[in-house]
Amino acid sequence: MDVQNVDVCCGLNWGDEAKGKIIAQLAKTGKYQFVCRWAGGHNAGHTVYVNGQKYKTHLIPCGIFYGVPSIIGPDCVVNKDAFQNEIDYLRENGFDTDLIKVSPKTHIVSNAHIEEDINHYSSTQGSTSQGIAPCYRDKYARCGIQVRHDPFFKRYLWDEKLYGNILCEGAQGIWLDINHGNYPYVTSSTTLPYGSCSLGFPTQCIKHIYGATKVYDTRSGIDPLFPESLFEDPELMAIAEYGQEYGTTTGRRRKVNWLNVDKLIQSIQISGCTHIVISKTDILEKVGNFKFIYEQKIEQFPSLNSFKQQLEFFIKHHCKTVKKIVFSYHVETIEDL
């Protein structure tokens, strides 16, 4: 059986957009034969709730929580220690880690890569210090080491065969993409949905693209677009506190700003999203402050309803590929996905 349909979930901002919640909700429907990660390493993170219990993954796809074969693709990078720690964590929590497979073409993040990242990239570019950039550099310099050359990964090697319905799991967000982000304050791989084709299927198979965003913007690490002065704004800090804005992988405090609708429209247009999921709507409701940025100006609204109506209007007006917009109020599930 060949690949029938592919659904893709990507982040529309700077990462941390609740992609894990979307992927988990789709994965548990039982309609997918595989859940696949297409880029990045353990510098990313997803938080997933299963039967009310909170779990975190950094590299292993969310299909593992629902008994679906979970593939780490050829354009990902993997560190042995981090991978083993995640395997142990999942096994201890009762999940079937035999479902986890790694492409033989995936590159290995060495301890030397991590040391180089810590010493040269973390302070100047705000990297996660996980060795990702040096590993990708060696991949493209043709001097990297692939998983197929390492006996450690032998039992996890993927046979590179896909069939049926596939769910592809993105990492980070579009504005961290190596090509489209605020270079050099970006990640080292492509975060756009077309990157999922590196798993081995044509673009014609892609049916739905689920774009994840929040009702406000957040950013981890260094980026001139998110100055340190954001930490001094009491309204934004209230959102950060209510929203518990800390990185899944690093624990770093995220900078918060009002949702930049101009950037959101652009990222939807670039990605061709069919479904938009806007999370943490409840946080704005709690703080009672309803603002977003449109045409480079801060727009303020008297109620959450008027905020939502105007945001939905702008998205539908500018983004013709969008078929459905869902506002999510719950950290664990998405209403009406």
Catalytic position from the list 7, 42, 46, 58: 46
User: Quick one: the chain helix, strand, coil %, rounded to 5?
Assistant: 35, 25, 40
The Cα 239–Cα 204 span in angstroms is 40
Write down how long the chain is: 337
180 annotated active-site: no
Helical ranges in 143-299 per DSSP H: 234-243, 261-271, 281-287
The Cα 72–Cα 229 span in angstroms is 38
The residue behind tokens 């789709």 is: 26
Query: Would you say 31 and 15 are in contact if contact means Cβ atoms under 8 Å apart?
Result: no
Query: Would you say 301 and 307 are in contact if contact means Cβ atoms under 8 Å apart?
Result: yes
16 annotated active-site: yes
Catalytic position from the list 16, 75, 138, 217: 16
Backbone angles phi, psi at 277, to 5 degrees: -115, 120
Cβ-Cβ contacts under 8 Å for 28 (sequence gap 6 or more): 65, 66
Q: Which residues are catalytic?
A: 16, 46
